[in-house]
Amino acid sequence: MKTRNFIFFSLCLAFVALANSACVEQKPTVAIASPNLVSENTTSTDARIQKAQASIEKMPNVAGNYNNLAIAYIKSARETGDFSLNSKAETALNRSLEIEPNNLNALKLKASLHLTFHRFQDALELGTELQKTNPNDPFIYGVLTDANVELGNYEKAVEAAQTMVDLRPNMESYARVSHLRSLHGDSKGAIEAMSFAARITDPLDKEAQSWCLVHLGNEYLNAGKYVEAEKQYDSALEIFPNYHYGLEGKGRARAAQNDYENAIKFYTQAQDRVPTTETVIALGDLYAKTGNAEKSKAQYDLVEFIEQKFGNTDMRRLALLWADQDVKLDEALVIAEKEHAARKDIFTADIYAWCLYKKGNFQEAKNIIQEAMRLKTKDARIFYHAGMIEKNLGNKKEAAQFLQKALKTNPSFDLLQAENAKSALQEL
């Protein structure tokens, strides 16, 4: 699912902007880590972590020191993909709030971490409270935008994003504009906004630049423009080598152009760095496509392990995998139904509809897939699901229209399901 990566990513970018204001909270007397604490091989984020820890040792009762440590952990998580660092960040913020319960920067970071941990309602509630007393803080409107997107409150998300742009027209705000334009079916506008976000990114923040380019590539790829997409992924990897999102993008682009050997290579590199659910499934699909059933099964088994190990962070994607494979359909439906009850975004509705379809509840599936299409998002997978639902309801004309739309939007929207879409269209 693309939403999870986008939210985590945009949050992390905002943390960088907040870092400077958080540092102001330190008293002038707090010592900064001396150079000999940082080895030649230590990364800048490691150095920041060490500096924050050194400040805490000197002044353990200064809330701002813990905020700086949280920011360092979050930035490191962003760059390395080690999401466990976000838990360390939250621990640091809890300590900050123990020292100074109402310190704004800690509360803002706390709200954002709610989103990272998929506590969307908590993020919305805290963000709303902060907005009442800080109506001109763009960071808070970023939190409100993301929380409302994840909960399916799209009108409120647009309103919050517009306020954020009005207050501070920077990379973080334009990245959100891009995402919302994409959700509303404006691919051209999404590409324009993300291109602008990439151009105005801090040139010293290589990872942030690469993130924008990866998401720009994703917009091109979702529109079926594979060559343009791959150029963006290449640029991202040139700026920030071995970036796991860039490697994943290269894998998608190569697979879309039927270069399965190199697709496997890039996805394997991405998985070795950060074994995300999406990357593991994609690699499993590639092995299935190339006839390696044993490796394919190992990948799919790994997905369940990841979800269990990391606290069920992407259960919707697991439900989608099971539905696609026609396995554990009862369990998949339970997951999708639970997620849909908690959040009304279009991607959750799409997966719920697909699980209902797989269980033979075609009319109910049609009702829910209409929820998924309410923004007119140009998403080939959603169109495919709609087409298959109509086909099994006996509505051949509507089915053909949706399947054609899916394949026209992105002929390689899914390595395995795109072939099913073609076969279903031929039957019609």
Question: CATH no. for residue 389?
Answer: 1.25.40.10
Phi-psi region of 398 (alpha: psi -120 to 50; beta: other; left: phi over 0): alpha
Q: Highest-confidence range of 3-17, 19-33, 135-149, by mean pLDDT?
A: 135-149
**Does a structural domain hold residue 133?**
no
pLDDT, average across residues 231-240: 97
Tokens 């697709």 belong to residue: 263
CB 186 within 8 A of CB 195: no
Residues 193 and 209: their CA atoms lie apart, in Å, by 14
Given 284, 313, 342, the domain boundary residue is 313
- Confidence band for 417, pLDDT divided at 50, 70 and 90: very high
297 with 366, same domain?
no
pLDDT, average across residues 317-327: 96
pLDDT, average across residues 317-322: 95
- Closest listed residue to residue 366, CA positions, set 388, 389, 344: 389
Lowest-pLDDT choice from 6-15, 73-82, 360-369: 6-15
Rounded mean pLDDT of the chain? 89
Percent of the chain clearing pLDDT 90 (strictly above): 82
308 with 339, same domain?
no
**Tokens, residue 409:** 């939007």
**Tokens, residue 302:** 């790994």
pLDDT, average across residues 361-374: 98
pLDDT of residue 312: 55
Residue 424 has pLDDT above 70, yes or no: yes
pLDDT of residue 41: 33
Pairwise pLDDT comparison (31 vs 127), residue with the higher score: 127
pLDDT, average across residues 387-408: 98
Pairwise pLDDT comparison (318 vs 7), residue with the higher score: 318
pLDDT, average across residues 292-312: 86
pLDDT digit string (tens) for 116-149? 999 999 999 999 999 999 999 999 999 999 999 9
pLDDT of residue 24: 32
365 with 418, same domain?
yes
**Tokens, residue 277:** 């659910």
332 with 365, same domain?
yes
Residues 335 and 303: their CA atoms lie apart, in Å, by 15
Tokens 């963000």 belong to residue: 127
pLDDT of residue 43: 56
**Does a structural domain hold residue 376?**
yes
pLDDT, average across residues 212-235: 97
Residue 268 has pLDDT above 90, yes or no: yes
User: Residue 280 sits in which domain range?
Assistant: 275-313
- Confidence band for 99, pLDDT divided at 50, 70 and 90: very high
343 with 421, same domain?
yes
Residue 33 has pLDDT above 80, yes or no: no
SS (H, E, C) the chain: CHHHHHHHHHHHHHHHHHHHHHHCCCCCCCCCCCHHHCCCCCCHHHHHHHHHHHHHHHCCCCHHHHHHHHHHHHHHHHHHCCCHHHHHHHHHHHHHHHHCCCCHHHHHHHHHHHHHCCCHHHHHHHHHHHHHHCCCCHHHHHHHHHHHHHHCCHHHHHHHHHHHHHHCCCHHHHHHHHHHHHHCCCHHHHHHHHHHHHHCCCCCCHHHHHHHHHHHHHHHHHCCCHHHHHHHHHHHHHHCCCCHHHHHHHHHHHHHCCCHHHHHHHHHHHHHHCCCHHHHHHHHHHHHHCCCHHHHHHHHHHHHHHHHHCCCCCHHHHHHHHHHHCCCHHHHHHHHHHHHHHCCCHHHHHHHHHHHHHCCCHHHHHHHHHHHCCCCCCCHHHHHHHHHHHHHCCCHHHHHHHHHHHHHHCCCCCCCHHHHHHHHHHHC
Tokens 């027209």 belong to residue: 169
Task: Give the C-alpha distances (Å, rounded to integers) separating 367 from 387, 395, 420.
Answer: 13, 14, 22
385 with 421, same domain?
yes
**Does a structural domain hold residue 42?**
no
413 with 375, same domain?
yes
Residues 6+ apart with CB under 8 A from 124: 144, 147, 148, 151
341 with 399, same domain?
yes
pLDDT of residue 136: 97
330 with 382, same domain?
yes
Given 313, 337, 361, the domain boundary residue is 313
300 with 389, same domain?
no
Given 313, 343, 366, the domain boundary residue is 313
pLDDT digit string (tens) for 169-204? 999 999 999 999 999 999 999 999 999 999 999 999
**Does a structural domain hold residue 202?**
no
pLDDT, average across residues 220-236: 97
- Confidence band for 304, pLDDT divided at 50, 70 and 90: confident
pLDDT, average across residues 321-345: 96
421 with 334, same domain?
yes
pLDDT of residue 21: 40
Percent of the chain clearing pLDDT 70 (strictly above): 89
**Does a structural domain hold residue 46?**
no
**Does a structural domain hold residue 262?**
no
**Does a structural domain hold residue 416?**
yes
CB 357 within 8 A of CB 365: yes
**Does a structural domain hold residue 398?**
yes
- What's the total number of domains in the chain? 2
363 with 411, same domain?
yes
CB 180 within 8 A of CB 157: yes
Task: Give the C-alpha distances (Å, rounded to integers) separating 273 from 208, 268, 296.
Answer: 18, 9, 19
Residue 34 has pLDDT above 70, yes or no: no
